[in-house]
Amino acid sequence: MTLATSTQPTGIVERQRLDADIVCVGFGPATAGFLTTLSKQLINQDGTPAIESAVLPGAPPQVLCYERADDIGFGVSGVVTRARGLRATFPNLDPKDIPMAAPVTEEKVVYLLDPVGASRRSWALRAADACIRACNGLLPFEHEAVELPWSPAFLHKTGGLVLSMGQFMQWVGAQVQSTGTVQIWPGTPVAEVLIEHGEPEPDQAGRVTPCAPVPHPSSLGAHGVTRPTSAPKVVGVRLLDQGVDKQGKPGDGFMPGMDIHAALTVVGDGPVGPIGQQLDAQFGLPEGHHTRDWAVGMKFVVDLPADTALKPGMVLHTFGFPEPEIFGFFYVHPERVASLGIFVPSWFDTPVRTAYRYLQHWMLHPYIWRYLKGGKLRSWGAKTIGESGRRGEPHLVGNGYARVGEGSGTTNVLTGSGVDEAWSTGAQLAESVLELLKAKKPFSRENLEQTYLKRRRASWVEAEGRVAEKARVGFQKGVVRGMVGMALAGLTNGRFAPNGEPVPPYKRIPTLEEYYRGRIPAAEVEQLRKECAIKGISLHGALMQRCGWPAIPYDGQLLVSHQDALLLGGKVQAPPGYADHVVFLYPELCERCGTKICIELCSGQAIALGLGGVPAFDREKCVHCGACYWNCAQPIPENPERMNIAFRAGTGGLHSAEN
Ligand SMILES: Cc1cc2nc3c(=O)[nH]c(=O)nc-3n(C[C@H](O)[C@H](O)[C@H](O)COP(=O)(O)OP(=O)(O)OC[C@H]3O[C@@H](n4cnc5c(N)ncnc54)[C@H](O)[C@@H]3O)c2cc1C
Ligand code: SF4
Ligand code: SF4
């Protein structure tokens, strides 16, 4: 690789430039699929390059991958997968080779009734619950739950795998790196995408800057093209500056992030990745596309009790409790370990979308707790999922770049699957890149369209993504309609599905007073708000308790405080010397904001009440789940699709490779 000093002085220290052939942003399943497929074909069996590098003649293409998290495999996912894409890459895949992997052996879908009487249920659901209880003996009703006697085929993961995302990614990472053709750099966030706009112009000092980083989307409309672009070309990325204060101002030990120039930039930075956001801000989304559907996923990895009857490979999905909108999952790994958790979706219209507290109530449901009692917390994590799927797809390719994985709209909300889809798009891109490299064709938009886009459009990921396109629309009008709509879409292969568009969150999140009307008087909400602020405790906890949710009986083993989950389970930490990656864009909007939903839902308790009504962010507690980015309920003046929180590139976060 060639290291050259760039023409871009930062004022204190010169910014370095590195030239590579391909640079990847993020090491999740999508880029892992890309690198696994690519790395196998870059050198011949005798060690000579199968394809020659453009930047290091005589060597194979120089491929770099930068991962934000401090190690490979610190991501969060369920995971149960049909593993079609994974098996296509690893035809001889033996689950025994991957720690915590097991073939799927049993699948159940379970409706959970409300055993505590605090859940916010519609009259229809209450009536359904009453009928189920009245028919006790006729229905398979036990432990306040009904195991559905039948579930639709589109939900099944028959022949698939239960995995730990962290362990799988470490297994893949080791294989990719052992080829010697790819370098993966964890702990190295990518801050910006570098875009070249036609003819370079000299700056005020007469220097010619060949490319410029894209301004952060916080200063751009997220869905509109904001700059004139004469055949813009992505020419690489800029890494994050080190040795700066919270606002990013250089301090002692300042080291400007290096510019990595490459003919192809592969963007696989997931649902809240800053590079994906910047590309969306720069190029806009295709007509009619949006990213209004998402969910916060939170999970525990648990040592099950010694006498557990649960067998590896068991897959359980729940709905109905703790709130009808919240889905649960429970997957069993080998050696008495289970992954379990909940999803809190965007269409759960409440200003108290607190995943941690709801997760504990879900675990305490009699149907679930009988499996968990006596168990122990091993690991904990949280992350958001982009659930718009095909409708959230951005421009997948452009001059010098291609997008893969969840940030490119691969997640399928109908089948509840994301890993296999993300992986497959990465593998499709790798085959396309090899084709172009061998033909010595440039990574232009046209060439990427004729190779990657063509493969992707012809694949099962696209076909199933289209079936799922409107599958969740019904949930905009309630859970029952949502379930019916989903079944309709799935059973008719997408031919019939509810029509409509999701509403942006700020239009659906009521104020606390509106939400609790009829249950807690407005004056009492205000009183609780003041008391909690003085005591420094969470308001959602007090409000939920007031509505009948019982206190959590902490046992120090599995039912632990949120702080203990962060420290024991997530082992969350952040190195010093980096800017805050969560930024409140318009403080005056925060001052006026009644819900302060960002504080209530923060997965890491990293956002707290600050001075003058503007929240304070503590980088050391942030798990990088991105929930605040999606959930903030205040749109910014220049773009109603974007909320008042910017989520930028940052370091640290979870330090567990089991999630
Ligand atoms: C709780 C939970 C349960 C889930 N359960 C399932 C399941 O059972 N089955 C299933 O198939 N899917 C499941 N999913 C979805 C699945 O995890 C995703 O679809 C999948 O991980 C997407 O892969 P990806 O590579 O596109 O993105 P990601 O997995 O998000 O990977 C993106 C990577 O990019 C890195 N990154 C981000 N920004 C930067 C930056 N600026 N610089 C460098 N690196 C960066 C991130 O750290 C991350 O490692 C679940 C998700 C969650 C949260
Ligand atoms: S960040 Fe958003 S949710 Fe949080 S206080 Fe500000 S406006 Fe309200
Ligand atoms: S501050 Fe960090 S932990 Fe809290 S919601 Fe935002 S990304 Fe998640």
Summarize pLDDT for 253-293 with one digit per residue, the tens: 999 999 999 999 999 999 999 999 999 999 999 999 999 99
Does ligand 2 come within 6 angstroms of the Cβ of 598? Answer: yes
Q: Which amino acid, 342?
A: I
Q: What is the pLDDT of residue 226?
A: 42
CA 121 to CA 105: how far, in whole Å? Answer: 33
Residue 601's nearest CA partner among 643, 539, 648, 659 is 539
Neighbouring CB atoms inside 10 A of 252's CB total 7
Does ligand 2 come within 6 angstroms of the Cβ of 653? Answer: no
Distance (angstroms) between ligand 1 centre and the Cα of 356 equals: 19
Distance (angstroms) between ligand 2 centre and the Cα of 628 equals: 9
Does ligand 3 come within 6 angstroms of the Cβ of 624? Answer: yes
Residue whose CA lies nearest to ligand 2 atom number 2: 632
Mean pLDDT, residues 427-431 taken together: 98
Q: What is the pLDDT of residue 203?
A: 54
Distance (angstroms) between ligand 2 centre and the Cα of 594 equals: 8
* Per-residue pLDDT tens digits for 468-498: 999 988 988 888 889 889 999 999 999 888 8
Distance (angstroms) between ligand 3 centre and the Cα of 572 equals: 12
Closest ligand by atom to 629 CA: 3
Please report where in the chains the tokens 């036990």 appear, as a residue. Answer: 142
Please report where in the chains the tokens 């989903």 appear, as a residue. Answer: 486
Does ligand 3 come within 6 angstroms of the Cβ of 603? Answer: yes
With bands split at pLDDT 50, 70 and 90, how would you rate the model's confidence at 10? low
Please report where in the chains the tokens 């619950």 appear, as a residue. Answer: 129
* Per-residue pLDDT tens digits for 128-143: 999 999 988 788 899 9
Please give the number of the atom of ligand 3 that sits closest to the Cα of 647: 7
Distance (angstroms) between ligand 1 centre and the Cα of 25 equals: 13
Mean pLDDT, residues 157-179 taken together: 96
What the block records as the tokens of 133 is 């209880």
Q: Determine whether 270 is exposed, middle or buried from the number of CB atoms within 10 Å of its CB (0-12, 13-18, 19+).
A: buried
Mean pLDDT, residues 51-55 taken together: 97
Whole-angstrom CA distances from 318 to 7, 20, 111, 163, 496 are 57, 47, 6, 19, 25
Residue whose CA lies nearest to ligand 3 atom number 5: 602
Mean pLDDT, residues 560-566 taken together: 94
* Region of poorest pLDDT, from 98-107, 324-333, 496-505: 496-505
The pLDDT > 70 percentage for the chain reads 93
Q: What is the pLDDT of residue 208?
A: 53
Closest ligand by atom to 606 CA: 3
Between 380 and 217, whose confidence is greater? 380
Does ligand 3 come within 6 angstroms of the Cβ of 607? Answer: yes
Report, in angstroms and rounded to the nearest whole number, the Rg of the chain calculated over CA atoms: 25
With bands split at pLDDT 50, 70 and 90, how would you rate the model's confidence at 499? confident
The pLDDT > 90 percentage for the chain reads 80
Does ligand 1 come within 6 angstroms of the Cβ of 193? Answer: no
How far does the chain reach from its first CA to its final CA, in angstroms? 34
Angle between helices 460-468 and 479-491 (to 10 degrees): 140
Please give the number of the atom of ligand 1 that sits closest to the Cα of 297: 1
Distance (angstroms) between ligand 3 centre and the Cα of 320 equals: 26
Mutate to test the pocket of ligand 2, among 632, 636, 642 (most ligand atoms within 8 A of CB): 632
CA 322 to CA 599: how far, in whole Å? Answer: 21
Distance (angstroms) between ligand 2 centre and the Cα of 192 equals: 25
Does ligand 1 come within 6 angstroms of the Cβ of 509? Answer: no
The number of C-alpha atoms within 13 Å of 376 and in the hemisphere containing its C-beta is 6
Does ligand 1 come within 6 angstroms of the Cβ of 217? Answer: no
Whether residue 333 contacts residue 315, with contact meaning beta carbons closer than 8 Å, is answered with no
- Local structure of 456: helix, strand or coil: helix
Distance (angstroms) between ligand 3 centre and the Cα of 554 equals: 24
Please give the number of the atom of ligand 3 that sits closest to the Cα of 621: 3
Residue whose CA lies nearest to ligand 1 atom number 17: 77
Distance (angstroms) between ligand 3 centre and the Cα of 494 equals: 35
Does ligand 2 come within 6 angstroms of the Cβ of 634? Answer: yes
Residue whose CA lies nearest to ligand 3 atom number 6: 628
Neighbouring CB atoms inside 10 A of 302's CB total 26
pLDDT of 219 strictly over 50? no
**Those residues with Cβ within 8 angstroms of residue 648's Cβ, 6 or more apart along the chain or in another chain:** 191, 216, 274, 579, 581, 582, 583
CA 17 to CA 259: how far, in whole Å? Answer: 5
β-pair partners for 382: 298
With bands split at pLDDT 50, 70 and 90, how would you rate the model's confidence at 211? low
Cα 23 off chain centre by: 21
Give the residue ranges of DSSP H helices in 440-504. Answer: 445-448, 454-457, 460-468, 479-491
Q: What is the pLDDT of residue 537?
A: 86
β-pair partners for 239: 190
Distance (angstroms) between ligand 2 centre and the Cα of 279 equals: 24
Residue whose CA lies nearest to ligand 2 atom number 7: 590
Closest ligand by atom to 429 CA: 1
Does ligand 3 come within 6 angstroms of the Cβ of 622? Answer: yes
Distance (angstroms) between ligand 3 centre and the Cα of 298 equals: 12
Mean pLDDT, residues 219-245 taken together: 72
The number of C-alpha atoms within 13 Å of 239 and in the hemisphere containing its C-beta is 27
CA 34 to CA 215: how far, in whole Å? Answer: 28
Does ligand 1 come within 6 angstroms of the Cβ of 257? Answer: no
**Preceding omega of 322 cis (within 30 degrees of 0):** yes
Does ligand 2 come within 6 angstroms of the Cβ of 255? Answer: no
Whether residue 81 contacts residue 200, with contact meaning beta carbons closer than 8 Å, is answered with no
Q: What is the pLDDT of residue 229?
A: 45
Q: What is the pLDDT of residue 136?
A: 83
Does ligand 1 come within 6 angstroms of the Cβ of 330? Answer: no
Whole-angstrom CA distances from 407 to 76, 122, 387, 418 are 15, 34, 10, 11
DSSP 8-state assignment for residue 22: E
Cα 415 off chain centre by: 17
Please give the number of the atom of ligand 3 that sits closest to the Cα of 384: 8
Q: What is the pLDDT of residue 595?
A: 85
- Local structure of 162: helix, strand or coil: strand
Does ligand 3 come within 6 angstroms of the Cβ of 468? Answer: no
Residue whose CA lies nearest to ligand 3 atom number 4: 602
Closest ligand by atom to 599 CA: 2
Distance (angstroms) between ligand 1 centre and the Cα of 413 equals: 14
pLDDT of 627 strictly over 60? yes
Distance (angstroms) between ligand 2 centre and the Cα of 616 equals: 11
Between 56 and 212, whose confidence is greater? 56
pTM, entire model: 0.94
CA 594 to CA 200: how far, in whole Å? Answer: 47
Closest ligand by atom to 166 CA: 1
Mean pLDDT, residues 66-84 taken together: 96
pLDDT of 421 strictly over 70? yes
Distance (angstroms) between ligand 3 centre and the Cα of 269 equals: 16
CA dihedral 79, 80, 81, 82 (to 10 degrees): 170
CA 434 to CA 258: how far, in whole Å? Answer: 27
Please report where in the chains the tokens 């976060």 appear, as a residue. Answer: 653
Q: What is the pLDDT of residue 5?
A: 39
Does ligand 1 come within 6 angstroms of the Cβ of 67? Answer: yes
Does ligand 1 come within 6 angstroms of the Cβ of 238? Answer: no
pLDDT of 207 strictly over 60? no
Does ligand 3 come within 6 angstroms of the Cβ of 650? Answer: no
Please give the number of the atom of ligand 3 that sits closest to the Cα of 604: 3
* Per-residue pLDDT tens digits for 293-340: 999 999 999 999 999 999 999 999 999 999 999 999 999 999 999 999
Distance (angstroms) between ligand 2 centre and the Cα of 622 equals: 16
Distance (angstroms) between ligand 1 centre and the Cα of 407 equals: 9
